[in-house]
Every structure is written in C-alpha cells, then in structure tokens.
C-alpha cells in the first residue's frame, strides 16, 4: 500500500502528537524530560526508559530550541508540526526511493 506524501505527513503528525500525549499524561513525564524521572512509578520508569530513544528523536531538538520554561501553548505545537513535517518528508523520501517509485 502506497501512501501519498500528504497522507504520510498527516499520519506522522497524528502519531507524534499521540506519542507526546501518552508520554506526558500516561507516564507522568514533563515535556522537557527525555529519560525516566524518580517521581514516576516503577512501570512508568521502565516504559519511559524503553521509549526514551524515540522521544529523543521526536522531542529532543524541540526541547533544545525551546529555552523558555513556560512558552505559550501554540508555540510548542507549531515547533512540533514544523520539525515533524520535515522529519516525515525525509522518511517518506527514503522509503519511496527504496521502493523504486516516486509518489
């Protein structure tokens, strides 16, 4: 099944926001935290440790760019959308090049 570039980027953005929501609210992590924190329960620390490489790729550059501890809410969403769109376009380009066609 081939996905168009636009659909791939939209699915990537939706998955990224769902991942951010899950790590923030289900695992009780602050938005700036990449690794597990000591105030989490044991299962949350394990899940945070397992998911930390993914969060490092998805949120690491945004946390580095965002120095303000309390930015306006749309600022973080806009930064995520811009960064993840570029990341998704790169991944889509690599996958479409490997499959032998351009979409």
Q: Angle, to 10 degrees, between the axis of helix 73-98 and the axis of helix 5-21?
A: 130
Residue-wise pLDDT for 42-65, tens only, equals 887 788 778 878 887 887 777 666
Q: What is the pLDDT of residues 61-97, one digit of tens each?
A: 776 666 666 767 787 788 888 988 999 999 998 988 8
Instruction: Confirm whether 31 is domain-assigned.
Output: yes
Residue 102: predicted pLDDT: 53
| pLDDT band at residue 10 under the 50/70/90 scheme | very high
92 falls within a domain: yes
The answer as to whether 24 is a domain residue is yes
60 close to 86: Cβ distance less than 8 angstroms: no
Confirm whether pTM is higher than 0.85: no
Q: Please tell me the distance from the alpha carbon of residue 12 to that of residue 62, in angstroms, as a whole number.
A: 16
Quickly tell me which residue has 């289900």 as its tokens.
26
Is residue 103 in a domain?
no
| Cα separations in angstroms, 37 against 9, 20, 28, 73, 96 | 31, 16, 9, 23, 38
Report how many domains make up the chain. 1
């Amino acid at each position: 099944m081939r996905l168009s570039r636009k659909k791939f980027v939209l699915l990537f953005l939706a998955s990224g926001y769902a991942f951010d929501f899950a790590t923030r609210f289900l695992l009780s992590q602050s938005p700036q935290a990449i690794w597990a924190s000591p105030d989490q329960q044991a299962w949350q620390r394990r899940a945070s440790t397992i998911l930390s490489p993914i969060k490092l790729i998805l949120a690491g550059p945004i946390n580095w760019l965002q120095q303000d501890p309390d930015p306006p809410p749309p600022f973080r969403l806009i930064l995520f959308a811009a960064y993840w769109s570029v990341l998704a376009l790169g991944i889509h380009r690599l996958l479409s090049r490997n499959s032998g066609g351009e979409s």
